[in-house]
Amino acid sequence: MLKRIAVLASGRGSNLQAIIDAIESGTMQNVAVALVVSDRKNAYALERARQKNILTAYFNSRLFISREEYDRELVAYLEEQQIDLVVLAGFMRLLTPYFVLAFQGRILNIHPSLLPAFPGMNGVADALAWGVKVTGCTVHFVDEGLDTGPIILQEALPVARDDTVETLHQRIHALEHRLYPLAISLWAEGRLKIEGRRCLIDEE
């Protein structure tokens, strides 16, 4: 059965585009992007969605008295839209426990480092500043912590001597665009099983 996903994004939405492209090319078959939500009115991710006639919603944090109120409203909307899976793609808000509980095991995030190294907002810059020789990206389930949920997929790449945050992030993005559709497909096919901290992938 087709799974309805909502993509939550605050920025340019290149991961959203990769997901849309994977669906259009038939690489990802059992998923539809039903909705794109942003906390930024001018996020380019919203524009990408509009170009594909995907439903969009802007959730303005200034209209809510607390983070939990924001999440309550957002969860209610996602449930109303019968969303099966929430896909965070550069969404710059930490979800409250209320949200995480409402969509337990049904929220994914992508992060531009090899977690648990360099969580948080500046994963690429922090890894570069630390001087690591290898970094990469991680797709994981979302729990109450900051980038702490069970890891689904990871891929590594070498840091080049002359890398800047921009050049490194560009190469990480290329990995992300491959890995995220793959992880979403695995979830949609029911092939991911969480056991404690570990996420086991069923072989076909």
Residue numbers of the site for ligand GRF (CB under 6 A)? Answer: 9, 11-15, 89-90, 110-112, 173, 176
Q: How far apart are CA 159 and CA 125, in angstroms?
A: 12
Select 69 or 144, whichever has its Cβ closest to ligand GRF: 144
Q: How far apart are CA 14 and CA 21, in angstroms?
A: 10
Rounded to a whole number of angstroms, the minimum distance from the CB of residue 58 to ligand GRF is 16
111 belongs to the catalytic site: yes
Catalytic residue among 111, 140, 169, 177: 111
Q: Which amino acid is at 50?
A: R
Rounded to a whole number of angstroms, the minimum distance from the CB of residue 18 to ligand GRF is 8
Please count the CA atoms within 13 angstroms of the CA of 4 that sit on its side-chain side: 12
Select 121 or 204, whichever has its Cβ closest to ligand GRF: 121
Select 15 or 96, whichever has its Cβ closest to ligand GRF: 15
For ligand GRF, the nearest residue by Cβ is: 90
CA distances from 3 to 33, 64, 108, 191 (A): 9, 30, 14, 14
Rounded to a whole number of angstroms, the minimum distance from the CB of residue 204 to ligand GRF is 27
Rounded to a whole number of angstroms, the minimum distance from the CB of residue 13 to ligand GRF is 5
What residues have CB less than 8 Å from 77, skipping those under 6 apart?
37, 57
Select 14 or 185, whichever has its Cβ closest to ligand GRF: 14
Q: What is the CA radius of gyration of the chain?
A: 16
The number of beta carbons lying within 10 Å of the beta carbon of residue 128 is 19
Q: Point out the residues that are catalytic.
A: 111
